[in-house]
Structure 1
Amino acid sequence: MMLSFPKKNINIAIAQTTSKDGDIEGNVKQAISLINEAGKNKVDLIVFPEKYLTGYVPDIIEKDTNKYTIIPNDQRLANLRAICKLNKICAVIGTPMKRDNKLYISSVIIDRNGVEVSYYDKSQLFKSEKKLFTTNNKQTIIEVNEWRIGMAICYDAGFAEHSRFLAQNGSHIYLNSSLFSKGMGNQELDIWLPARSLDNTIYSIVANHVGKTGIWDTCGQSGVWSPLGTKILKGETDKAGLLSIKLSPDVLEEARKKESMLLDSPMFTNSDSTLEVIKID
């Protein structure tokens, strides 16, 4: 089990946004504006919600999977990659994706040089997603400024073994691109993320939609939970915007002195999962 700590703070921005349904071009323009704003604050990494580039509109995607999905190094994201390079910011962008004639709910991971270094695909598909999308059970950790950041998408957070696997492989942060709606989604957001933080003494981060996307009325409240499960940054319910926070390795180390659940737990193994670790310089 890896329990090393980074040596300095990391500055992370959360894009709590309203996507324009089916409008990849418009959503890219909005992302570029938010990345430029984050660049002024010397942000190391910015994260966007689940399916940000299209909105959560599976009926539209199903009608035209070429138009409403992204492929690797898609030309429609060229300006977005360029703005990451200009601002020296890593970005995690939620999108439906097509690779090898299969459809995934993915996060595109772009490094500080504007290079797509990998794609994380949602591991735990919601029941309504399974008819259109698939998964490959590949788990992904990116390393930025010595911080190991485990990738997650929405429903993944409801399964404690998902975050535990990442934490036991050295994650300091559980980074979740999501769509949580008002009602039951709001309750899940309030319960799952602090639990995953305390379970593993890691920071948890959620980037959620705000407003309507498809049939969903989303609940906003993007945020950050401390390694002891306390919410230390919270977005509003109905207001889009950019949230940012500096995370301290000292807080992480102190939490693990107080709470030993991660150290005391048996190693979690999942024969169906593979692990990819990407170091971003």
Structure 2
Amino acid sequence: MTAAHLAGRAPLRVAAAQVTAVPGDLAGNARTAVRSIAEAAARGVHLVVFPELSLCGYDVGLLRDDIARCAVEAGGDPLDVVAEACRTHRVVAVVGGCRRRADGWAIGALVVGADGRPAAAYDKRHLDRDERELFVPGRADCLVEVRGWRLGLGVCYDASFPEHARALAVAGADAYLCPSAFTTGDSDHRRGVYFPARALENNCYVLFANFAGAHGGWQFAGRSAVYAPDGRVLADAGTGPGLAVADLDDAVLRRHRDALRMLTDRAAPAPPPAAVPVPAG
């Protein structure tokens, strides 16, 4: 543990920003983010997380036709617009967009510091079927530190793989931040299972940010939320635009990790078992 962890940390107020998006309207979506950042700051928030591809919208058809239109890069609009809001309001933001890499395009989660400077970027590691036609997977995990709190990044489908959040928790993450794009129906059912489970099994906070409304042929489920380290919901944004705001509290985290010891009690990996034949009638 670091000295900050041993001494105890001030609570970190976080928000999951549940926004509507217009596909391809990066300037308009950036203005939406600015309004959310201002609202979050007025509520004392230190860190706000936006949905997957929040700056360009999650529209597979648009991405397939003109992915370059959805590029988000440091030093250019719309990221500069978000950066100025972060600087003005002294808030850290995690926004989503398409990142150009040497080997192709990636679904990026970009972290902008309260000083308005790009601080880190994470590329989604697990891609679903449609995404694999357009994007390349990220190769590395990402852990950032904000006010002494260590925060691991995932994006949407990453949360379907328990080992992703677990690796970040083992590396010291106090919270798992997951910008997402979950829709109504079966996707919403999975959303309701994944995120409390990731919190409980890793004894960490989870921050899930989703879209509200419809775009790109999808009806999004909303339900952006912050989960406690025992899987209980601390804040829920419902189904319309808004913020889910909660405090990450060191005393609460310590209490849950003292009671729920899955991280410390986990067994060492075992070799793959051979199947044992069992007589059957």
Does TM, normalized by the shorter one, top 0.5?
yes
Task: Describe the superposition over 1:46-81 as per-residue Cα deviations: whole angstroms up to 9, x where unpaired.
Answer: 100001111111221222232222123323322221
What aligned pairs does 1:70-109 form with structure 2 within 5 A after superposition?
Answer: 70-100=72-102, 102-109=104-111
Distance 1:167 1:64 in 2: 37
CA distance in 2, matches of 1:82, 1:108: 15
* Per-residue CA distance 1:107-165 (angstroms, 9 max, x = gap): 11100110011211111111111011012321001101111010010111110100000
Q: Distance in 2 between matches of 1:151 and 1:201?
A: 16
Structure 1 range deviating more: 242-251 or 72-81: 72-81
SS in 2 for 1:219: coil
User: Where does residue 195 of structure 2 map in the other structure?
Assistant: 193
Change (3 A) 1:166 1:266: farther
Provide the C-alpha distance between the structure 2 equivalents of 1:84 and 1:161, rounded to a whole number of angstroms. Answer: 32
**One-letter amino acid matched to 2:208:** V
Determine the C-alpha separation between the residues in 2 that align with 1:75 and 1:94: 13
- Separation (CA, whole Å) in 1 of partners of 2:185 and 2:90: 38
Aligned counterpart for 1:125 among listed residues 127, 150, 156 = 127
Separation of aligned partners in 2, 1:52 and 1:100: 23
Structure 1 outlier segments of 4+, above 3 Å? 1-6
Taking the TM superposition and a 5 Å limit, the aligned residue runs for 1:1-281 are 4=5, 6-100=8-102, 102-237=104-239, 239-266=240-267
Aligned mates of 2:268, 2:82 — CA distance in 1:
39
Identity of aligned residues (%): 32
SS class of match (2:68):
coil
> How much does 1:243 deviate?
2.4
- Aligned partners of 1:50 and 1:27: how far apart in 2? 12
Q: Secondary structure at the match of 1:120?
A: strand
3-state DSSP of counterpart to 2:108: strand
Aligned length: 267
Gap regions ≥5 residues in structure 1: 269-281
CA–CA separation in structure 1 for the residues paired with 2:36 and 2:125: 27
1:101: Cα distance to partner? 5.5
Once the two structures are overlaid, the 10-residue window that deviates more, 172-181 or 244-253, is: 244-253
Distance 2:79 2:53 in 1: 14
Aligned residue identity for 1:52 = S
Offset from partner CA, 1:83-122 (integer Å, 9 cap, x none): 1011111100011221336211111110011001121111
Distance apart, 1:41 and its partner CA: 2.0
Aligned residues of 2:226 and 2:245 also touching (Cα < 8 A): no
User: Which structure is higher in strand share?
Assistant: 1
TM-score normalized by structure 1? 0.90
For 1:8, the aligned partner's letter is A
How many Å separate the matches in 1 of 2:231 and 2:78? 38
CA distance in 2, matches of 1:8, 1:70: 33
Tell me the distance in 1 between the aligned counterparts of 2:234 and 2:72.
34
Give the residue type in structure 1 aligned to 2:247: K
Alpha-carbon contact 1:154-1:178 (below 8 Å) kept: yes
Quote the Cα distance in structure 2 between the aligned partners of 1:8 and 1:267: 34
Asked if 2 retains the 8 angstrom alpha-carbon contact of 1:48 and 1:207, the reply is yes
Q: What is the CA-CA distance between 1:231 and the residue it aligns to?
A: 1.3
Q: Using the alignment, how far apart are the partners of 1:117 and 1:265 within structure 2?
A: 33
Structure 2 unaligned regions, length at least 5: 270-281
**Counterparts of 1:202 and 1:106, CA distance in 2:** 23
1:232 is matched by which residue type in structure 2? L
Greater gyration radius: 2
| Aligned-residue RMSD, C-alpha | 1.8
Q: Aligned partners of 1:171 and 1:112: how far apart in 2?
A: 20
Residue type of the alignment partner of 1:251: V
Larger relative contact order (Cα-Cα within 8 Å, sequence gap ≥ 6): 1
Q: CA separation in 2, counterparts of 1:267 and 1:81?
A: 43
Equivalent pair of 1:61/1:69 in contact (CA under 8 Å): no
